[in-house]
Amino acid sequence: MKSIVWIKHASQLATLAQNSEGPRIKEAMNELSIIEDGSVWIEDGVIKAVGTTTELERKFNDRAHEAEITDASGHLVTPGLVDPHTHVAYGGSREREFEMRLEGATYMDIMNAGGGIHATTRMTREASEDELVEQSKKRLDSFLQHGVTTVEGKSGYGLDLENELKQLRVMKRLQDEHPIDLVPTFMGAHAVPTDYKGREEEFVELIIDEMLPAVADEKLAVFNDVFCEVGVFTPEQSERILEAGKMYGLIPKIHADEIEPYGGAELAAKVGAISAEHLLKASDDGITAMADAGTIACLLPATALFLREEAAKGRKMIDEGVPVAISTDCNPGSSPTTSMPLVMNLACISMRLTPAEALTAATYNAACAIQMENKTGSLEVGKQGDVVLWDISNYQELQYLFGVNHVKTVWKKGVKVVG
């Protein structure tokens, strides 16, 4: 018995379908390929047809009795959102640091005092695999509630071989046990652990000589990410770690120019990173280099807001031809949110993306940033039935009625998981 979902009469079916390879740039980010009175037919988790309701009725009316039909009259329907940058599998919580920052401490003050990433590292090391799975599942449930059906997740709260592998194994279990697709990234170079203070080079060698081979051996990650920042890893160290990862087939990503301009955007282009993250302080040359190399800018406006920093120059990046994706950066320190709708709102408000660009950045381009664009990120025949029905009628409202969760129904691989 086939499982069939038939969504009909969407006031706007934003398919995001285009006849082009790779991430969308410039004007193409505004093209949502909307079908009015749109319809989708999903069979055994895979999209079999997309078109107007009239077209699909002509094709499938004699099989209507086999389908679970949803009348989407008056509603916007989009692909499931994709979050291409999270640190979702962590232990503990850091609300006290939030309070400290409001009292005047900076993010780097807290980190240098053993808080920040170090605090989460302690709590993640202390937690068992089962405990981490349970905590993280709740966050993934919340992602689904906000219309997110695919998430990237990074290690980097283990910071030793055993605990980095533990964090990645937790993500592997989450991929098996939770409906969300979770794409894993190794990020051993997230911070220099406190016991390596003054011996940073030794830690870089540990990553290159022991962690990367072990991660590759167990096939626990697709990407290799580095926090290239003043006081964390230098551009030179970052380059060595990313080049070493490439030898094991791990694709580079880079946390770049978040706090200080440090040549991170330039390095992302140079090593052929699939994406560079944050980029609040990216230089003009760095932005040009990324446009030339086709490096995706993964922008995190909720993090900028939460740290009370000015957001990245999203408008300028799109105008200069950089493909832009957006993400929550879900993590316990600088962005403890799972709301991609809020991130889309902020992309418009604080980075001046258009409502259509923000949706592209949260679906198709986000999928490209984690090499999932052949499976999800747009509503096209052959892709997974990852679909969101919103309790609003058009895509402009999605960005305009901000700070509210408009998700009504979510299907993941053709299975209703919300609503």
Please report how close the Cβ of residue 380 comes to Zn ion at its closest, in angstroms. Answer: 30
Q: Distances in Å between the alpha carbon of 53 and those of 66, 313, 414? A: 17, 40, 18
* 81 bridge partner residues: 148
Please report how close the Cβ of residue 295 comes to Zn ion at its closest, in angstroms. Answer: 16
In angstroms, the CA 37 to CA 105 distance is: 52
* 47 bridge partner residues: 42
In angstroms, the CA 316 to CA 303 distance is: 19
Please report how close the Cβ of residue 339 comes to Zn ion at its closest, in angstroms. Answer: 16
Nearer to Zn ion, 228 or 353 (CB): 228
Please report how close the Cβ of residue 335 comes to Zn ion at its closest, in angstroms. Answer: 8
In angstroms, the CA 289 to CA 319 distance is: 14
Site for Zn ion, residues 270 to 329, rule: CB under 5 A: 329
Question: Residue 392's closest CA among 52, 82, 78, 69?
Answer: 78
x/- track of binding to Zn ion for residues 321-360 (CB under 5 A): --------x-------------------------------
Give the position of tokens 């949260």: 362
Q: Which tokens go with 128? A: 């068992």
Nearer to Zn ion, 329 or 373 (CB): 329
Please report how close the Cβ of residue 255 comes to Zn ion at its closest, in angstroms. Answer: 6
Quote the strand ranges of 44-159, DSSP E: 46-52, 67-71, 76-79, 81-83, 148-154
Please report how close the Cβ of residue 187 comes to Zn ion at its closest, in angstroms. Answer: 8
Nearer to Zn ion, 8 or 139 (CB): 139
x/- track of binding to Zn ion for residues 211-240 (CB under 5 A): ------------------------------
Nearer to Zn ion, 266 or 329 (CB): 329
Nearer to Zn ion, 164 or 386 (CB): 164
Q: Distances in Å between the alpha carbon of 244 and those of 210, 220, 361, 393? A: 11, 16, 30, 48
Among all residues, whose Cβ is closest to Zn ion?
329
Nearer to Zn ion, 16 or 251 (CB): 251
Please report how close the Cβ of residue 85 comes to Zn ion at its closest, in angstroms. Answer: 6
Nearer to Zn ion, 303 or 399 (CB): 303
In angstroms, the CA 306 to CA 234 distance is: 25
- In the complex, which residues of this chain contact Zn ion (CB under 5 A)? 329
